[in-house]
Structure 1
């Protein structure tokens, strides 16, 4: 599978300097963590679940979560697990071009799905583990390891941090240390750590407005900072951490100003695209996705197909950043020093910027690098036209 494969070949050729590379379920764990992109959550109770998964994959979704937790009611859990098992069995016969995960409620559900799918299953890439904690997480991780032992492919865990223990300041330090130590014992099985911002905000009766980002909500922003500090380190002890869910997709009356500048869209004759993005509250999503990356997160949880193009367009590495990253990782740059960017608008410091450069090139591997003169607006326009 490959990002942007649903675009015509000539369109991709015009948009990209370095084309996105293919990946599959057996790719390196770090590659898959960056390749998640916009991870689309789909309720397990959908009557057309298999068709929906295939349709979304054909439209560019490269990671999806079949949701057995928050997206379904308590009284429909048993039927949802049974129907999910059946759907996964159907998809297993002809897997779509997407990584498929299941968000479960309990470790027992992982074992139930393992038995239902049988040895050699090819469809489930892993499980999203809700309400993950230092004391409760090991049972989840053991169940994931048991399924992998019966699978022909790696099976990963994506724990979700969304409990009072990680949010309340007096318990947070010990809880994050405990989670870090637990995840380290299962490191090969941990694909990424997810942050359950909706549940965390709910503990304080907070729901962020669509005109704001999660970084405007103090208690959530404070937690994200601490999670990155404990679990997102780049010294070999950290993990990929994904951006929290964006939950809006329809127009509303605005109080604050729109979050997309007019000029870049006008220069590319894309004023209608700007209006469309704002009418669907996607300007807020785009701002938050940019802030996610600035704060050390990668990818984004989303709940609507319209969220995927903006997140993926913003994941493409701009030509200028790509050239800077290549410059910084050149063998002679290991000795340190400073040199002017190829674009002659900044200085690249070889040692301080090296980790940034390596992560940027990892992102470019799966999302590509834009051609010179191509902006995220051009890529998003192509994606909207292909929708």
Structure 2
């Protein structure tokens, strides 16, 4: 699979100076984590879940979470589990080369309890091959260790790599008096299981609930003082560029259009203004990828993840052979590139370029949005 793989080759060639690279679920974690992109959540109760996965893959979705937790009522868990097993089994049984049988997105299941991990893997049997891993809710050191132990047990039982994406959404993480100890415990836990932790996800809806808060459509997570402070502390402890950090993904955007969007190119504006602004702030604060609950969010998140030609030139200059230090004038002659301080940024930018590609110099955000947004009814 690859980002923007749903576009015709001619269109990709018009958009990209360097196209996104291909990858699959077996790729190393340092390739998969930056490539998660807009991770689309879907309730596991959906009766046509397998068809939904196929349809979203054809629209450019590269990662999905099939949810057994907050997205479904407590009384629906048993039915949701049975539906999930049936739908994933159907996906696994599709013959290679059948119509619409292109690469599946990276598929994760958001569970409620550690026992669901081992039970679902057992029930799936050979069909577990379509599953990339599990999303672990309300993750702390105390709650997270049983989840990761269950993941390890399930992995050994099925003989396949299964990855974890813990969600940081516990009130203990937000409360000032418990934040440091909670962050330290999370860091110890995910470091111990580093080879299984693909990325850490921020669950700001649950965090806002602890204070009775909800973002308005024009308000980003960074406009909420409590959330902004927490995101800064999470990046401080878990997002360091010294080899100890993890990929951190951006918080969910809750709003979507009431009616189908009209055809044609869409410049930035309208109901997605807040989302576009928040993704820009995610990147500025070291977060990459985003939890999404509506297909209309996919194209904006992916368009903003493409590396600009200017960023690429800066990154390649900084990491060029023989650059042991010093200051370089940028190829665009508008900034200073200082080799040592900017190297970690440059390396991170090149990893993003591999996943999302590098735009041609004359390609704008509006161009990427127009190309990546499916026509109504597609």
Q: Give your verdict on TM over 0.5.
A: yes
Q: Is the 8 A contact 1:122 1:151 kept in 2?
A: no
Matched position secondary structure for 2:315: helix
The alignment status of 1:65 with 2:65, answered yes or no, reads yes
Structure 2, unpaired ranges of 5+: 95-100
1:58 shift after superposition? 1.1
1:278 shift after superposition? 3.7
Give TM-score, length-normalised by structure 2: 0.94
Q: Is the 8 A contact 2:53 2:104 kept in 1?
A: no
The equivalent of 1:285 in structure 2 is 275
Q: Distance in 2 between matches of 1:80 and 1:226?
A: 36
1:358 shift after superposition? 0.3
Q: Over aligned residues, Cα RMSD in angstroms?
A: 1.7
The equivalent of 2:321 in structure 1 is 331
Q: Distance in 2 between matches of 1:234 and 1:215?
A: 22
CA deviation vs aligned residue, 1:254-274 (integer Å, no higher than 9, x gap): xxxxxxxxxxxxxxxx99613
Matched position secondary structure for 2:24: coil
CA deviation vs aligned residue, 1:132-165 (integer Å, no higher than 9, x gap): 1111111100111122223454210000111111
Matched position secondary structure for 1:61: coil
User: Of the candidates 179, 182, 202, which is equivalent to residue 172 of structure 1?
Assistant: 179
Matched position secondary structure for 1:332: coil
CA deviation vs aligned residue, 1:28-69 (integer Å, no higher than 9, x gap): 101100110000000111111111111001111000000111
Q: Distance in 2 between matches of 1:272 and 1:55?
A: 21
Q: Distance in 2 between matches of 1:97 and 1:90?
A: 13
Q: Distance in 2 between matches of 1:381 and 1:120?
A: 36
Structure 1, unpaired ranges of 5+: 253-269
The equivalent of 2:346 in structure 1 is 357
The equivalent of 1:231 in structure 2 is 238
How many residue pairs get matched? Answer: 366
1:385 shift after superposition? 5.4
User: Of the candidates 186, 205, 208, which is equivalent to residue 193 of structure 2?
Assistant: 186
User: Of the candidates 245, 249, 266, which is equivalent to residue 273 of structure 1?
Assistant: 266
Q: Is the 8 A contact 2:265 2:366 kept in 1?
A: no
Matched position secondary structure for 1:327: helix
CA deviation vs aligned residue, 1:194-241 (integer Å, no higher than 9, x gap): 111000001000001111100001111111111111111111211110
1:120 shift after superposition? 7.2
Matched position secondary structure for 1:339: strand
The alignment status of 1:106 with 2:113, answered yes or no, reads yes
Q: Is the 8 A contact 1:25 1:153 kept in 2?
A: no
The equivalent of 1:298 in structure 2 is 288
Give TM-score, length-normalised by structure 1: 0.91
Q: Which structure 1 residue ranges, 4+ long, deviate > 4 Å from structure 2?
A: none
The equivalent of 1:343 in structure 2 is 332
1:347 shift after superposition? 1.1
Q: Distance in 2 between matches of 1:189 and 1:151?
A: 15
Q: Is the 8 A contact 1:58 1:97 kept in 2?
A: no
30-39 or 377-386, larger mean C-alpha shift: 377-386
Matched position secondary structure for 1:352: helix
The alignment status of 1:143 with 2:150, answered yes or no, reads yes
